[in-house]
Structure 1
Amino acid sequence: MEAKYIKLIVPTLLIAGWVQYSPAVVAQDTIGTANEAQTIAVAMGGFDPTSYFSGDLPVAGQQNIYHIHQGQYYYFASIENRDAFVANPVKYSPQYAGHCAHSFSQTIERLGDPSVFNVDKDGKLFLFADKGAKEAWLKNVTEYKELADKRWQIRQENITKYKVTF
């Protein structure tokens, strides 16, 4: 290989390595990915939680229209949707903080995929890690919901019990 090509390749590789591992790029790669660690807590992959209740497919929210609820950023497609959420976050928030409902009932904490969901007859939003988890949940909703609800209650009690204030 000629020297002039080596002079071009080495700096290019160094820059590519720096960009690949820079914190800003790593953070962008992990936001909104359902089953990977998230460096910024963006709820539901950035989808507007109120859009799940319109009967249509969920809609992506806008980063400049948001509300922070229970330590997570929720993005909204409109100010009206944000205001509806702020007025009643219990109605629009996914159950189990967006964890896969079926996995949560089995004592496994996996984030739910915002494109795999179910709104039940009581108007509760459940997310699932994949279609298989959703299908399993729907075959025995009563039992799995009871297990997940008990686990969620215990988790919330432990968070409150060991909460540290400064």
Structure 2
Amino acid sequence: MTGHFSLMTIILLFTSSALASEPLVYTGLLSNTALGGYDSVSYFESGQPAKGSAGHATEYNGATWRFANPENLARFKNDPQRYAPSYGGYCAWAVSQGYLAKGDPQHWAIRNGRLYLNVNKSVHDQWLADPEGFIRKANANWPGVLE
């Protein structure tokens, strides 16, 4: 019985630690779609978020990414690190404060060639007051805030 108890303890410890960490990409509850289904390339190419299509999708970092057209899908596949939002699409301001919050695809900015999302307009406005400072803080916290 002791051997059985030890095995169960080990299983519970591994399960608990696996449940304690958050996914690398924010997808929302009961979803595996990054950016709420928006096309991450569209922010860079047209300067506006566009809804993606399930017909133009790929997997990256454990999430499904959708694109408005095959050209944007190809751009993403060629350089996903360029087009994927910083901090996995979590709110950049929250990450700078040491915690996670959802990133809203409607509240965004591009700085130094990187896409950043915020949870809402109020937080986005606050983030815009010192984006470089918040980016420095968020970079120091990422990816540790996932644990």
Helix, strand or coil for the counterpart of 1:64? strand
Relative CO higher for 1 or 2, CA cutoff 8 Å, sep ≥ 6?
2
Alignment of 1:143-158 (within 5 A): 143-155=133-145
Q: Which has the higher strand share?
A: 2
Alignment of 1:9-88 (within 5 A): 37-88=28-79
User: 1:155 Cα deviation (Å)?
Assistant: 4.9
53 and 105 in structure 1: CA distance in 2 versus 1, 3 angstrom threshold: same
1:108 to 78, 85, 99: 99
Are 1:93 and 2:91 counterparts? no
Give the structure 2 partner of residue 26 of structure 1: none
- TM-score (structure 1 length as normaliser): 0.68
Task: Spell out structure 1 runs of 4+ moving beyond 3 A.
Answer: 153-156
User: 1:132 Cα deviation (Å)?
Assistant: 1.2
| Amino acid of the structure 2 residue aligned with 1:90 | Q
Encode CA deviations 1:11-64: one digit per residue, 9 max, x unaligned: xxxxxxxxxxxxxxxxxxxxxxxx994212210000000000124321100012
In percent, how many aligned pairs have the same letter? 29
Aligned residues: 122
What is the root-mean-square deviation of aligned Cα atoms in Å? 1.9
Encode CA deviations 1:123-143: one digit per residue, 9 max, x unaligned: 110001011111111112222
Q: Which runs of 5+ in 1 are unaligned?
A: 1-34, 159-166
Encode CA deviations 1:78-127: one digit per residue, 9 max, x unaligned: 1111110000011100000000000111122111100110011x111000
